[in-house]
């Protein structure tokens, strides 16, 4: 089967999820990905499910980059590939002899993608952390009065940076194939989250007329609401008058039909309280069906277990059965002409195979 990335060869030196996800996305599309693991194996191997889901269709080789012979073996492999991915702390790759200058000395067109928490340069470059730390610096945590700051319920820095890295890698490969010049890509997980958070309000308050994040509270029908059976729904009615009217009709709040967005914003607190009271008289499933029939943006708040059982993700192929017979995740994007490969087995750990 012809795939989108036939012929692309990638060396994956990463030891954590962002690099694993970036190279998994490439492997799904047919790239040849070789994991370069240290003696003892990748740090994520003990986390079975996560390791399996992000390392399918890859090969593996064990090299100790502190050993001259193994480092030479890696550089020999670099001559015949286009991409190297690493997520060491800044400066470590160069100290191991596999930094950008050392790689392009043997392959001028090499693309090196470095993924780190805070980037290769800057005041925080040497700071350690994990996803929650990056969310905190990026202003991505939910901060509500009377409650401790809450991080996102999934690893948005890890996953987001992996996706961004895959995009940047392919852009750099296109350039390298055209010009013969390689590239060093610097992906910062915190930078990525900051670029997602910043546009939610005015980046600079001097921009007159720009909406600030405080204005979001003027949409009384946006947010989470508890139902009678102690479950939750999310409403997504913002500026659309027809959605507002349909919602009011379904909830028995006909007296509010016809209110414009400006009028809704002016009385947001009281309206939100009335909506919450009305929602609390319905059970989740019946209310969602009633709102969906009227075209109102609504969603149930699913647990992870409920999401894994939802038929939408099964039908889309996002969740499927792996080669081991267990439920697994597939490539997240669909392609009509050149489909991604189905999930494949993660590599075993060889003692040595160069």
Report, as residue numbers or ranges, the catalytic residues. 216
Return the exposure string of 169-179: e unless at least 16 CB atoms fall within 10 Å of the residue's CB, then b.
bbebbeebeee
Q: Does the CA dihedral 299-300-301-304 come out positive or negative?
A: negative
DSSP state of 318: S
Q: CB-side exposure of 89: number of CA atoms within 13 Å?
A: 7
**Strand 183-188 relative to strand 111-116: parallel, antiparallel, unpaired?**
parallel
Distance CA 217, CA 276 (A): 15
CB 343 within 8 A of CB 329: yes
Kindly give, in sequence order, each residue whose CB lies less than 8 Å from that of residue 305, ignoring residues fewer than 6 positions away.
Answer: none
Buried b (16+ CB within 10 A) or exposed e, 108-118: ebbbbbbbbbb
The residues near 4 (Cβ < 8 Å, ≥ 6 apart) are 29, 30, 335, 338, 340
């Amino acid at each position: 089967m012809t795939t989108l990335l036939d012929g692309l060869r990638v060396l994956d030196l990463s030891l954590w999820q962002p690099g694993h996800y970036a190279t998994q996305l490439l492997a799904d599309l047919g790239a040849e990905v070789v994991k370069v693991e240290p003696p003892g194996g990748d740090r994520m191997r003990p986390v079975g499910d996560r390791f399996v889901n992000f390392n399918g269709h890859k090969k593996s080789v064990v090299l100790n980059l502190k050993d001259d012979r193994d480092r030479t073996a890696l550089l020999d492999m670099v001559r015949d590939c286009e991409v190297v991915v690493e997520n060491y702390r800044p400066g470590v790759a160069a100290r191991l002899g596999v930094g950008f200058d050392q790689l392009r000395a043997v392959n001028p067109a090499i693309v090196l993608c470095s993924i780190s928490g805070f980037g290769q340069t800057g005041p925080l470059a040497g700071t350690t952390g994990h996803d929650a730390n990056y969310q905190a610096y990026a202003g991505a945590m939910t901060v509500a009065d009377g409650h401790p700051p809450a991080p996102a319920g999934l690893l948005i820095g890890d996953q987001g940076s992996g996706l961004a890295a895959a995009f940047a890698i392919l852009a750099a490969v296109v350039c390298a194939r055209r010009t013969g010049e390689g590239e060093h890509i610097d992906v910062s997980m915190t930078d990525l989250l900051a670029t997602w958070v910043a546009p939610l309000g005015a980046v600079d308050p001097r921009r007159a007329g720009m909406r600030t994040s405080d204005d979001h509270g003027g949409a009384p029908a946006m947010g989470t609401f508890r139902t009678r059976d102690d479950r939750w729904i999310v409403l997504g009615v913002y500026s659309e008058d027809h959605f507002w009217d349909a919602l009011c009709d379904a909830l028995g709040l006909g007296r509010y039909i016809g209110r414009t967005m400006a009028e809704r914003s002016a009385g947001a607190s009281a309206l939100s309280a009335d909506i919450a009271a009305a929602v609390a008289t319905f059970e989740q499933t019946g209310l969602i069906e009633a709102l969906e029939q009227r075209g109102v943006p609504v969603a149930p708040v699913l647990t992870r277990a409920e999401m894994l059982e939802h038929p939408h993700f099964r039908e889309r192929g996002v969740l499927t059965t792996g080669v081991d017979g267990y439920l697994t995740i597939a490539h997240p994007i669909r392609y009509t002409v050149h489909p991604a490969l189905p999930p494949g087995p993660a590599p075993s750990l060889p003692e040595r195979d160069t």
